[in-house]
């Protein structure tokens, strides 16, 4: 199991570096990220107007808030939710609940299609991936479904780290264009963009370490 995870992680790294198809699969992480923003907006009493997904793997959530705290937490939620979801998927696989991983992903896809995603490319992407995803769920064997769950968990793990690193890098080289880090710096005034970039990257490493530690613990236990 340990070797299998390492192979899936290597595959995810290589896949995300490929043109076109790599970006297509990387948008899964973008959707999870934007879902984090949307859920936090709803939890804090805000309203979500739309989610936009773009072919370059960027995304945007349009939400309104009545209070500063809701806006702050919504801006902070994207990267954390993505990293936490990767960790959660590792835990579920550790508990041999791969079906839950696939169910959560499908639920996020369907809810996003029905209520949030509205731009043309976003609709194209989410409809095609739901169709492909549903076909695999319908036709795939138990082993195929377990591998699919591990693939998405590995993909999210890799993308949660690389996207957080990218925002940290941007926070230093272009602090006014560093997305959520820039928004949080403007919201807090005294905490600079660079520090928010570092925080996002460190939390991604923290959740990745927790998830991998749990998975490898499972592998050692199963091999005894």
Q: pLDDT digits over 127-178, tens only?
A: 999 999 899 888 889 899 999 999 999 999 999 999 999 999 999 999 999 9
Q: Among candidates 125, 67, 137, which has minimal Cα distance to 99?
A: 137
| Torsion region of 57: left, alpha or beta (phi above 0 gives left; psi -120 to 50 gives alpha) | left
pLDDT band at 3 (very low <50, low <70, confident <90, very high): confident
Q: Has residue 224 been placed in a domain? A: no
pLDDT band at 220 (very low <50, low <70, confident <90, very high): low
Decide: 21 and 11 in contact? Cβ < 8 Å. no
Q: Has residue 12 been placed in a domain? A: yes
For the segment 116-135, what is each residue's pLDDT rounded down to a tens digit? 999 999 999 999 999 998 99
Q: Has residue 154 been placed in a domain? A: yes
Decide: 44 and 74 in contact? Cβ < 8 Å. yes
Q: Has residue 219 been placed in a domain? A: no
What is the pTM assigned to this prediction?
0.93
Domain count, the chain: 1
Mean per-residue pLDDT for 31-42? 97
Range of the domain at 144: 2-214
Distances, alpha carbon 14 to alpha carbons 19, 145, 160, 200, 215, in Å: 11, 21, 15, 23, 21
Q: Has residue 222 been placed in a domain? A: no
Decide: 76 and 199 in contact? Cβ < 8 Å. no
């Amino acid at each position: 199991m340990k070797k299998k995870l390492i192979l899936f992680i290597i595959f995810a790294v290589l896949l995300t570096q490929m043109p076109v198809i790599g970006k297509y699969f990387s948008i899964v992480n973008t959707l999870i990220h934007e879902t984090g923003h949307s859920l936090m907006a709803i939890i804090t009493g805000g309203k979500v107007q739309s989610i936009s997904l773009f072919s370059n793997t960027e995304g945007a959530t349009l939400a309104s808030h009545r209070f500063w705290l809701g806006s702050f937490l919504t801006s902070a939620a994207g990267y954390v939710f993505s990293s936490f979801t990767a960790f959660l998927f590792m835990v579920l696989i550790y508990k041999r609940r791969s079906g839950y991983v696939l169910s959560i992903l499908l639920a996020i896809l369907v809810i996003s299609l029905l209520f949030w995603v509205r731009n043309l490319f976003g609709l194209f992407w989410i409809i095609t991936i739901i169709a492909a995803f549903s076909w695999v769920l319908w036709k795939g064997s138990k082993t195929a479904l377990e591998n699919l769950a591990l693939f998405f968990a590995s993909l999210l793990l890799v993308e949660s780290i690389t996207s957080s690193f990218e925002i940290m890098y941007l926070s230093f080289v272009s602090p006014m264009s560093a997305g959520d880090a820039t928004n949080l710096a403007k919201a807090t005034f005294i905490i600079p963009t660079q520090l928010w970039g570092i925080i996002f990257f460190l939390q991604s490493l923290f959740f990745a370490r927790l998830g991998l530690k749990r998975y490898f613990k499972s592998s050692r236990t199963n091999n005894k």
